[in-house]
Structure 1
Amino acid sequence: MDRLRAHSGDARAVPLSPDRHVYVEDGSGGDPEPLRPSYVLAFGELCLVDHDGEWYMGSLHDDGSVGCWAAYGADLAEAIRNL
């Protein structure tokens, strides 16, 4: 975690349990697609979610769910730079 916090520059970075409702919206107004995350990393209210080797960015909601809006590739360091 220290390395993650140092790389992101966010001392609040913490891992969250992946046992939560995580989804990605496709922007078309249709039903959100559920994701099955291996990892969920929180940076304040922003999250990075690993789903099938792809990192998605989203927001942590009050109910503990994470709504993602885009995939940022397989490279965690690159996804962190996009926070």
Structure 2
Amino acid sequence: MNSGLPAGWTIERVRALSGDPSAVSLSSDRLVVLEVAGQDDYEPLRPDVILAFHELCLVRDDGEWFIGQLDDDGSVICWASYGSDLAEAINGL
């Protein structure tokens, strides 16, 4: 499923660049939040793309890629932005 990936991207390209042959695109129908330093509450994200690399995820919200962790319940807690370039975000994994 390549739906939602930036132009020119396929899941195969994501797998090749990340070196993770099991990388997959996940449904965005799940709780995704951003941990904000110095705040007790999480900031909710509304991703249009979630890419999973085992327990790590890249989540795109409003054109920006966030790094996060997939929890056992299927939710994702993100902790940092990797900017708008998918290749740079993958290289940061």
Distance in structure 1 (CA, Å) of the matches to 2:86 and 2:40: 28
Aligned pairs (5 A) from 1:2-81: 2-81=12-91
Unaligned runs of 5+ in 2: 1-10
Q: Number of residues paired by the alignment?
A: 83
The alignment-based identity, stated in percent, is 61
Q: Using the TM superposition, give the Cα deviation of residue 78 of structure 1 relative to its aligned residue in structure 2, in angstroms.
A: 0.2
Q: Which residue of 1 is the match for residue 7 of structure 2? A: none
Q: How far is 1:3 from its partner? A: 1.2
TM-score norm. by structure 1 comes to 0.97
Q: Deviations over 1:24-78 (max 9, x none)?
A: 0112142000000000000000000000000000000000000000001000000
State the superposition RMSD in angstroms. 0.7
Letter in 2 for 1:44: H
Q: 1: distance between equivalents of 2:14 and 2:65?
A: 15
The runs of 5 or more residues in structure 1 that have no matched partner are: none
Runs of 4+ with deviation above 4 angstroms: none
Rounded Cα–Cα distance in structure 2 between residues aligned with 1:57 and 1:20: 16
The residue type equivalent to 2:24 in the other structure is: V
CA distance in 2, matches of 1:13, 1:28: 32
